[in-house]
A and B are shown apart, each in its own frame.
Chain A
């Protein structure tokens, strides 16, 4: 047996060689499971890059001839965001999606070489077969937690690289991700593998953030309005959370490596932690700085559908499709209280200090006193199911639901405003300044002015190539 086995191996190798020679069409040879600097990347750099990026020439301050020098980057800073090839300058340049296109002269890298680099960065750029890859260092600054409005002008998108929607489509899909900046007149709308940012007053499209990881299912602005979080992915396949700087549109972190879509996520007000969850039912706390998993918690008995940090950063609440709500101590991850009440799915959560609002498939909105662990107020908000709930910074509550309506309430459950019905189930609604923006199952996103008594004033162009708002 043994003899037969050893004698077969060279033959197999030969066969494979013949087969690959026999192929006449261009193809990407199989990329190895593990791509390393020593084994794959350095030889590639030697052929294509080291003419200029060597220790002597060090063009643009970049030296690719050693592993530490490659990680150190160029005069402009790091050339790689390890773990995320799409966001890495090095990859963008060799791919030709960003200037300066590299190599500047001679043959560009072929598909196979590009695939190697892409995979190497995705694997966090390991040096050798024995190493695990470079530590991630995301440019996520810690933030001081404050309940006050931050001083200075609130961050708004400035000159994004992407101004137009990435995909021009003739149809829309259910609108499931929508967020309003707590301080700026800015609304983020989830689209097909992208996030669109609209001015909440002029409804102008200000910029587009690519989310190639899939469909964004949840959007959250950071407490100070500086950062935007998107969670999502490919259903049943993969899930990620992305963080961008609102002003520049720069992606500063990509977090999580989930096996299914992220359905709910939020960023802690101090910006050190992302909590995410989804169909796996497991809650995962990630460190934003190094992208590492801090802890995972198995508590929910069904899909995690909603997550919300309290603005003071003390607590974080999570809810599931079976009606369970649990509040956790944000820092320790210890369970603070469970809030029984909803018998069916909880679709949304929103936090004020000490006060949590939940939206239930049972049609109700419940306000919970988190310290007491008790229901403070409960009212029927939307027949057929309440799909989302959101606190405005001034403490009003915006909801929408299966009755196709969006509504604004005070904390006593007193109805302040009801919009005219949307064509289909209203899935998400936010209030940004005077504009109530709501989207429905058909993907239609409409703006209503509070002052206008709930009449639609505008339809946000979420799906066309034109960034021009249409009146």
Chain B
């Protein structure tokens, strides 16, 4: 309440504050200088300074321009336009003073007379990146006949293509300023990509200097970029109209670090909230979150930026925190000035946790006993109970079956028997609590008969190494390598080398028929290489974004399996942790969960880091991770929003309303109507969740988006369609279930009063008792005994059509 009042007043307050107090309305409590130390390595080197103030409400301010800089020894260096420039060899200290706050950073200068020769890799390539030349021309076939490597991953090739691929066209070393490399970029000649920089600009001058030097390639011993850092690493700013300059520093193989802010390329995920200028200055806009990235060399690093309205009044009530998950979620919510929703009531929790952990609705009597239970730790007890249920195993077997695409295919000779064995094998693994990294390793490294080692079916479902490697990357790492098959990934770091290097692990899968026509034997063929489509060279196996391992005399897939299962694998644990989180929260921290990439950052990186660490610490036991998630306040929130979080969708301030997935919905209609489970020509009693083969389906499941499992990203589709609504209203599923269950009949025959039957129907479907309004609204229908049965069946039908039933909330 407090919050609403202050919000409605805030425009007024804002006006007053702006008129009377032009400076800070909050006290500045902390001054930080970036970088923490300055090193200047040659005559042309410089280091820009960024000074950040943290106010007592946690918001930041760039005060660099208002600071006083004083050098202890002015003979060593000087400060011009907030930039340190070298003067003489030696070291000194720079004092930065802003009002009452001050800080000191060390400054060292070496080789102040040295003028390093222009370097293609370290000077020219960054220009091609900053001007975004290698974005369009980075396409696999180039652009308008000219190709560069995407984001400059191949400087050697780029040097060749600029200078010698088509001699006489791109560079003119006799008259450098007439080089097409410049005339296209500075607007002199028409350019599909438009004007990229001004004639005479620093970028232009760098290219011109290189051309005037004869467009040299680097000597082989040139230092390499080993990483970049963006400073500060996170920001909470007020908006609109505030500026904050970022500083980007690159580290090199010779141990040096250089300020590369002027040649880094900046991008913002949300220009409306945080616009970033080409020079690296953030300008704040509307309230919101942005991920601001700097790209330099092969590296992209982003920082989260939160933008808040000026002088926002905000109260942070004492919200209980159950574990580290809550702490990290709350930290983010506090930064955003968002209050979490309240805890959901017991019955909502009961229904939610039943659906999420077991894929079933709570039985009617369980609803009542849980409501009556006064034990304060009853929620924890319920979670522990459900985690031990076989239905938990069934639900995760279903999820893995989706991910691994279990389906028969007559064209590809994939029969039901191996699918059934494969499904049972997955279920056995989950039942036995095999750590999920071991499960993945068993699949990737599988050899032998698919009848004896069903894990090997992984290689029977797909023969094409292209598809196998793409599927494995997406299923186990959450990475979509697909793009990098034909060209380097346009929105990520993946190159064709990464793609072929990953594919190389799957090039030596041997497949031969077994005795049974349905059987296959998978073995390590020890032959077969991945070829790069450009130049046809052999690409050795390479972990995505990582090393080239020694695979000599080894089963390549076993090498990959070991890497995958290693606790320090950079992708696997995070991906699985995110997958588990998304299952319970309805949304990944990285979302979609199978699209991990630089430009799709996690909404809460510390939280994802934590979950991944926990998964490793818990020895990859998803049950234990699920427990940590389910006991958190973050999981147990109400779906109802408050004024501060109604627009937020990504930060887990409230619970997400989710439609039940197709199989669970069908099973739930069954249990709600007490109809016997006899669908899909499967044994009676088998739930839809337990069906092994995606080819066994019916109209209901297909309409409600059951995964066909024909490709790895075919998740169960839960977005609503008209045919779903129509099918529930007029289709035969509910009708048949009500008839075959004959629940109303049975209860009437038992002599139950209509009012009690209403309660039963409510408990079975929406896991609660009818409220007074509902009870009284139904009353008139029971006055005529003739009508009672029909009215109850209508009620049953209406309940099953209600959103409250169809959704997990």
Residues of A within 8 A of B (CB): 167, 169, 171-176, 192, 215, 217, 234-237, 259, 261, 279, 302-303, 321, 387, 425, 427, 441-443, 463
Q: Is B545 an interface residue (CB 8 A)?
A: no
9 interchain residue pairs of minimum CB distance: A176-B168, A235-B180, A173-B174, A237-B189, A174-B167, A236-B189, A174-B168, A173-B173, A173-B172
Q: Which of B162-207 contact A (CB under 8 A)?
A: 164, 167-176, 178, 180, 183-184, 188-191
Known: A176-B167, A441-B167. A235 touches B189 (CB 8 A): yes
* Bound CA–CA A14/B333 (angstroms): 59
Residues in chain B near residue A279, CB distance under 8 A: 144-145
* Bound CA–CA A321/B161 (angstroms): 14
Residues in chain B near residue A173, CB distance under 8 A: 168, 171-175
Residues in chain A near residue B169, CB distance under 8 A: 217, 235, 261
Residues in chain A near residue B214, CB distance under 8 A: 171
Residues in chain B near residue A442, CB distance under 8 A: 173
Neighbour of B168 across the interface among A169, A217, A237, A303, CB < 8 A: A217
Residues in chain B near residue A235, CB distance under 8 A: 169-170, 180, 183-184, 189
- Contact string against A for B residues 123-152, beta-carbon threshold 8 Å, 1 for contact and 0 otherwise: 000000000000000000000110000000
Across the interface, do A236 and B173 meet the contact criterion of CB distance under 8 Å?
Answer: no
Across the interface, do B173 and A171 meet the contact criterion of CB distance under 8 Å?
Answer: yes
Across the interface, do A303 and B189 meet the contact criterion of CB distance under 8 Å?
Answer: no
* Bound CA–CA A261/B174 (angstroms): 18
Across the interface, do A192 and B183 meet the contact criterion of CB distance under 8 Å?
Answer: no
Residues in chain A near residue B174, CB distance under 8 A: 169, 171-173, 192, 443, 463
- Distance in Å: Cβ of B136 to nearest Cβ of chain A: 14
Residues of B within 8 A of A (CB): 144-145, 164, 167-176, 178, 180, 183-184, 188-191, 214
* Interface CB pairs A-B, < 8 A, 20: A169-B175, A172-B173, A172-B174, A176-B167, A192-B175, A215-B172, A217-B168, A234-B178, A234-B183, A235-B169, A235-B170, A236-B184, A236-B190, A261-B169, A279-B144, A279-B145, A321-B145, A387-B167, A425-B164, A427-B167
Q: Which among A169, A171, A234 has the greatest number of chain B C-beta atoms within 10 A?
A: A171
Across the interface, do B164 and A441 meet the contact criterion of CB distance under 8 Å?
Answer: yes
* Bound CA–CA A367/B396 (angstroms): 67
- Distance in Å: Cβ of A212 to nearest Cβ of chain B: 13
Apart from A171-B176, A176-B167, A215-B172, what are 11 other A-B pairs with CB-CB below 8 Å?
Answer: A167-B175, A169-B174, A173-B171, A173-B173, A215-B168, A215-B178, A234-B189, A236-B184, A237-B190, A443-B173, A443-B174
* Bound CA–CA A427/B167 (angstroms): 8
* Bound CA–CA A176/B171 (angstroms): 12
Residues in chain B near residue A167, CB distance under 8 A: 175
Across the interface, do B145 and A303 meet the contact criterion of CB distance under 8 Å?
Answer: yes
* Bound CA–CA A215/B183 (angstroms): 14
Residues in chain B near residue A427, CB distance under 8 A: 167-168
* Bound CA–CA A167/B177 (angstroms): 14
Residues in chain A near residue B171, CB distance under 8 A: 173
Q: Closest residue of chain B to A281, judged by CB? A: B145
- Distance in Å: Cβ of B542 to nearest Cβ of chain A: 27
- Distance in Å: Cβ of B577 to nearest Cβ of chain A: 48
- Distance in Å: Cβ of A151 to nearest Cβ of chain B: 37
- Distance in Å: Cβ of B229 to nearest Cβ of chain A: 38
Q: Which among A237, A259, A427 has the greatest number of chain B C-beta atoms within 10 A?
A: A237
- Distance in Å: Cβ of A361 to nearest Cβ of chain B: 9
Residues in chain B near residue A425, CB distance under 8 A: 164, 167
* Bound CA–CA A236/B184 (angstroms): 7
* Bound CA–CA A167/B172 (angstroms): 14
* Bound CA–CA A212/B662 (angstroms): 72
Q: Closest residue of chain B to A463, judged by CB? A: B174
* Bound CA–CA A167/B175 (angstroms): 10
Residues in chain A near residue B180, CB distance under 8 A: 235-236
Q: Closest residue of chain B to A424, judged by CB? A: B164
Residues in chain A near residue B170, CB distance under 8 A: 235
- Distance in Å: Cβ of A347 to nearest Cβ of chain B: 10
- Distance in Å: Cβ of B531 to nearest Cβ of chain A: 15
Q: Which among B169, B170, B190 has the greatest number of chain A C-beta atoms within 10 A?
A: B169
- Distance in Å: Cβ of B583 to nearest Cβ of chain A: 50
* Bound CA–CA A439/B580 (angstroms): 66
Known: A169-B174, A171-B173. A236 touches B168 (CB 8 A): no
Residues in chain A near residue B173, CB distance under 8 A: 171-174, 442-443
Q: Closest residue of chain A to B180, judged by CB? A: A235
Known: A169-B175, A192-B175. A236 touches B164 (CB 8 A): no
- Distance in Å: Cβ of B198 to nearest Cβ of chain A: 18
- Distance in Å: Cβ of A261 to nearest Cβ of chain B: 7
Across the interface, do B175 and A236 meet the contact criterion of CB distance under 8 Å?
Answer: no
- Distance in Å: Cβ of A292 to nearest Cβ of chain B: 25
Neighbour of A302 across the interface among B145, B167, B168, B175, CB < 8 A: B145
Q: Closest residue of chain A to B179, judged by CB? A: A235
Residues in chain A near residue B168, CB distance under 8 A: 173-176, 215, 217, 427
Across the interface, do A236 and B183 meet the contact criterion of CB distance under 8 Å?
Answer: yes
- Distance in Å: Cβ of B5 to nearest Cβ of chain A: 47
Q: Closest residue of chain B to A237, judged by CB? A: B189
* Bound CA–CA A174/B171 (angstroms): 9
Q: Closest residue of chain B to A217, judged by CB? A: B168
* Bound CA–CA A321/B173 (angstroms): 23
* Bound CA–CA A176/B188 (angstroms): 23
* Bound CA–CA A261/B191 (angstroms): 14
Residues in chain A near residue B172, CB distance under 8 A: 173, 192, 215
* Bound CA–CA A425/B183 (angstroms): 25
* Bound CA–CA A175/B172 (angstroms): 10
Q: Closest residue of chain B to A261, judged by CB? A: B169
* Bound CA–CA A443/B191 (angstroms): 27
Q: Closest residue of chain A to B191, judged by CB? A: A236
* Bound CA–CA A172/B215 (angstroms): 12
Q: Closest residue of chain A to B181, judged by CB? A: A235
Residues in chain B near residue A259, CB distance under 8 A: 190
* Bound CA–CA A176/B166 (angstroms): 10
* Bound CA–CA A296/B171 (angstroms): 29
* Bound CA–CA A217/B169 (angstroms): 9
Q: Which among A173, A215, A425, A442 has the greatest number of chain B C-beta atoms within 10 A?
A: A173
- Distance in Å: Cβ of B272 to nearest Cβ of chain A: 32
Residues in chain B near residue A174, CB distance under 8 A: 167-168, 173
- Distance in Å: Cβ of A180 to nearest Cβ of chain B: 19
Q: Closest residue of chain A to B163, judged by CB? A: A441
Residues in chain B near residue A443, CB distance under 8 A: 173-174
